[in-house]
Amino acid sequence: MGVSGAGKSAVGQRVAERLGYVFADADDFHTSANVARMARGIPLTDAERAPWLHALAQWLAEQQAAGRHTVLACSALKRAYRDALRAAAPNLLFVHLAVPREVLLERMRRRAHFMPASLLESQLATLELLAADEPGLVLDAAADIATVVARLLTSLAALGIQPAPR
């Protein structure tokens, strides 16, 4: 989880590969109308996010019911969003990729993505940090992707999270 530019997709994809888990990017679950709104620099409302959250929750529940381990790259900016996802997948662990604003802006300016850098401020304003009662961890993700992935894998192993049986 984290704001745009935090490295959720890049880190998530690599961690999923290393662990043998199924990967999904929450951006792929957005409606075309929502992608168009964000591309125009218009933040989404909770009502506009509701179908997206429902689709994510459904995907998580389906994966869990099938016995698959997953990594989902998802902003999950608000506690209410995380609660909705956790209701569908009770064993969900959130990893907040924390990155300084300046680094986020630089990353967003360098990449090709529908989310413009102009929406960073609204994302930072919306972000609700993990509460003490939420299962998860905060990881400094300002370093290069390989370093962040290595740190995350070490942290997950310390929590007993292991690669999927092959």
Total domains present in the chain = 1
Is residue 77 a part of any domain in this protein? yes
Is residue 129 a part of any domain in this protein? yes
pTM of the predicted model, to two decimals?
0.89
Is residue 116 a part of any domain in this protein? yes
**pLDDT (0 to 100) of residue 128:** 96
Per-residue pLDDT of the chain (166 residues; tens, 9 = 90+): 999 889 999 999 999 999 999 999 999 999 999 988 888 888 889 999 999 999 999 999 999 999 999 999 999 999 999 999 999 999 999 999 999 989 988 887 886 666 666 777 888 889 999 999 999 999 999 999 999 999 999 999 999 998 988 7
**pLDDT (0 to 100) of residue 105:** 84
Is residue 163 a part of any domain in this protein? no
Is residue 138 a part of any domain in this protein? yes
Is residue 3 a part of any domain in this protein? no
User: Which residues face 138 on adjacent strands?
Assistant: 96
Closest to 24 (Cα-Cα) out of 94, 72, 75: 72
Contact 55, 7 (CB under 8 A): no
Is residue 147 a part of any domain in this protein? yes
CA distances from 51 to 31, 35, 67, 69 (A): 8, 13, 24, 23
* Full domain range(s) for residue 135: 8-158
Cβ count near 33 (within 10 Å): 11
Contact 78, 123 (CB under 8 A): no
Q: CA torsion angle for 128, 60, 65, 94 (degrees, to 10)? A: -40
Is residue 41 a part of any domain in this protein? yes
Identify the DSSP state of 140: E
Task: Give the domain CATH number at 128.
Answer: 3.40.50.300
Mind listing the pLDDT tens digit for each residue in 114-125?
A: 666 677 788 888
